[in-house]
Amino acid sequence: MVVPDLEKALSLYKDVLGAQVSEAVALPEHGVYTVFVELGNTKLELLHPLGEKSPIASFLEKNKTGGMHHICIEVDDIKAAMTELKKKKIRILSEEPKIGAHGKPVIFLHPKDCHGVLVELEQA
C-alpha cells in the first residue's frame, strides 16, 4: 500500500488497530521507505517514496491519498515459477529476480496479464 504520510499510516495500524509495526527502512535501490504491519496471518507493506525518482512517486501523483499498489504471493521456487509463467504467456517485468524488502528474490508480473493488478512473486 502506498501512503502519502508514513507516520500517519503507522499510527493508524499501530495505535488504532493494535498491529505490530516495524520501523521504517529506507531501500534506496527500490526508491522507497518500507514498513511492515502484521495483523494475525496477514502482513501489509506500507510504501512511501524515497527521493524524486521513486517508482511509486507517480502512483501518489495520481492517487493523492495513497492506495493499493500491488499484492505479493510467496512461491517455493521463483525460477521455476518464472519458467511456468513464461509458458503461460504471462509477462514478467524483469529478466532476473531482484532482492526485495525481505532480502528474498522477487519478480513482478505485468498488470495487464493479471486483471489490472500488479503482482509480486517472492521466493519463500
Q: Number of folded domains in the chain?
A: 2
Do 63 and 75 lie in one domain? The reply is: no
Q: Which domain does 44 fall in, by range?
A: 1-68
* Residue 9, domain CATH: 3.10.180.10
Whole-Å CA distances, 33 to 76, 79, 92, 110, 121: 26, 27, 24, 23, 19
Do 8 and 36 lie in one domain? The reply is: yes
Contacts of 116 (CB under 8 A, 6+ apart): none
Q: pLDDT tens digits for 16-72?
A: 878 999 999 999 999 999 999 998 778 899 999 998 889 899 999 999 999 999 999
Do 63 and 7 lie in one domain? The reply is: yes
Q: pLDDT tens digits for 65-116?
A: 999 999 998 899 999 999 999 999 999 999 999 999 889 999 999 999 988 8
How far apart CA 29 and CA 70 sit, in angstroms, is 18
pTM above 0.75, yes or no: yes
Question: What's the pLDDT score for residue 109?
Answer: 95
Mean pLDDT of the chain: 92
The share of the chain scoring above pLDDT 70, in percent, equals 100
Do 87 and 26 lie in one domain? The reply is: no
Do 76 and 32 lie in one domain? The reply is: no
Do 59 and 28 lie in one domain? The reply is: yes
Question: What's the pLDDT score for residue 110?
Answer: 96
